[in-house]
Structure 1
Amino acid sequence: MSRNKPLTKEQETELISILKKRFEKNSSRHPNLDWKIVEEKLIHQPEKLWSINEMEVSGGEPDVVYLDENLSIYFVDCSPESPKERRSLAYDYEGQTSRKEHQPKNNVIDLAKSMKINLLTEQDYRALQKVVIVDQKTSSWLETPENIRGLGGAIFGDYRYGSVFIYHNGAQSYYAARGFRGKVKLSEF
């Protein structure tokens, strides 16, 4: 991943082209939305474009998805399985460092922060699954409520047997098939 280096004009143009093709190919994810509106917002928010690029280069296949009733424009990781470059991570730094042996290389919270993206909440994850089924072989860490995290746990979700499942695990746990999905909200300007 590019890590805090601004995108060049060529990179911006290439990314916008990729996003436009994905947007047009998957119109059911964002009915009645014109690409020109999205593109204009992207052009005026280069910091958001940078974050979306981080999602793209780590395997997230970001696309526009409506996650709320306000029809806010979010770019969300829509890859069929959790993004490959964002797997085998503990939930947060405390969970990561609490492992004395076989410590994971990183954690979800710090990596998401470095990418300037937000984790999906349980509500977001359920909304995403209504638009595109994901995580049939993998799972994704989700933003965990403080009361659960305070007791040492963290939540994650997947899709099995035609249903969305939300589970819990210790925050120090990590698996080759568990990653995380993020979102970037485009602002009004």
Structure 2
Amino acid sequence: MKKEKAKLSPEQRAELLSLLKSRFEKNRHRHQGLEWAPVQEKLEKNEEKLWSLYEMERTGGEPDVISGDQQTGEFIFYDCSAESPKGRRSVCYDREALESRKENKPQDSALGMAEDMGIEILTEEQYRHLQTVGSFDTKTSSWVKTPDEIRTLGGALFCDRRYDAVFVYHNGAESYYASRGFRGALRV
């Protein structure tokens, strides 16, 4: 299901940058101490990352800057939609799980979609960090990067927030639900 990475039109670029700037300014608590101008400068120099952010937005992720990496000078975006992105739900964990289903296959897998979008699925640690800047997945859940030891045995991990706490669960990697998707991260 590999999507062809297309260049954004000048209109799409301008609209995306305006939307990201507005979200950045509205949610300063997510990235205290950072300013928009250096973020925009980096984005304008990287068409491929802009396309990935466009895909994150198109699928309902509402990406926003979560932090900056002082060592690399990169800015880190996470999906910040209140619930797991609508355009990325009803997917199993990875392509191996997708191929193992004999019937009632989902359209895609979380890791497959993330790869096609040029993003990384959140790790459990990143997911927990995201929950420190807001309350996410209070009605849905999101697949998270699963350790090889668990995936080798057929399982996969997902998280959600209930009772004002973050929970980590397991399921068969081939399972999929209308209320479970995945959140991504992108370094720019």
TM bucket (normalised to shorter chain) is over 0.9
Residue identity opposite 1:92 in structure 2: D
C-alpha displacement of 1:75: 1.1
- Within the candidate set 143, 146, 160, 1:144 is matched to 146
Size of the aligned set, in residue pairs, is 185
- Give the aligned partner of residue 170 of structure 1: 172
Matched ranges for 1:78-117 at <5 A: 78-117=80-119
- CA contact 1:90–1:106 (8 Å) conserved in 2: yes
- CA contact 1:30–1:66 (8 Å) conserved in 2: yes
Secondary structure (helix, strand or coil) at the match of 1:110 reads helix
- CA contact 1:118–1:182 (8 Å) conserved in 2: yes
Of 158-167 and 4-13, deviating more is: 4-13
C-alpha displacement of 1:172: 0.2
- Within the candidate set 157, 171, 184, 1:182 is matched to 184
Matched ranges for 1:64-83 at <5 A: 64-66=65-67, 72-83=74-85
Cα distance in structure 2, aligned partners of 1:3 and 1:89 = 20
Structure 2 unpaired stretches of 5+: none
- CA contact 2:69–2:76 (8 Å) conserved in 1: no
C-alpha displacement of 1:68: 7.1
Secondary structure (helix, strand or coil) at the match of 1:148 reads helix
C-alpha displacement of 1:138: 0.2
Scaled by the length of structure 2, the TM-score of the pair is: 0.94
C-alpha displacement of 1:100: 1.6
C-alpha displacement of 1:121: 0.3
C-alpha displacement of 1:66: 2.1
Of 62-71 and 151-160, deviating more is: 62-71
Residue identity opposite 1:76 in structure 2: Y
1:67–1:13 CA distance, 2 compared to 1 (3 A): closer
- Give the aligned partner of residue 63 of structure 1: 64
- Give the aligned partner of residue 35 of structure 1: 36
Percent identity over paired residues:
54
Can you list the C-alpha shifts for 1:128-156, whole angstroms capped at 9, x where unaligned? 00012100000000011111100100001
C-alpha displacement of 1:82: 0.4
How much is the aligned-residue C-alpha RMSD, in angstroms?
Answer: 1.6
Matched ranges for 1:10-25 at <5 A: 10-25=11-26
Residue identity opposite 2:171 in structure 1: N
Secondary structure (helix, strand or coil) at the match of 2:153 reads coil
Structure 1 unpaired stretches of 5+: none
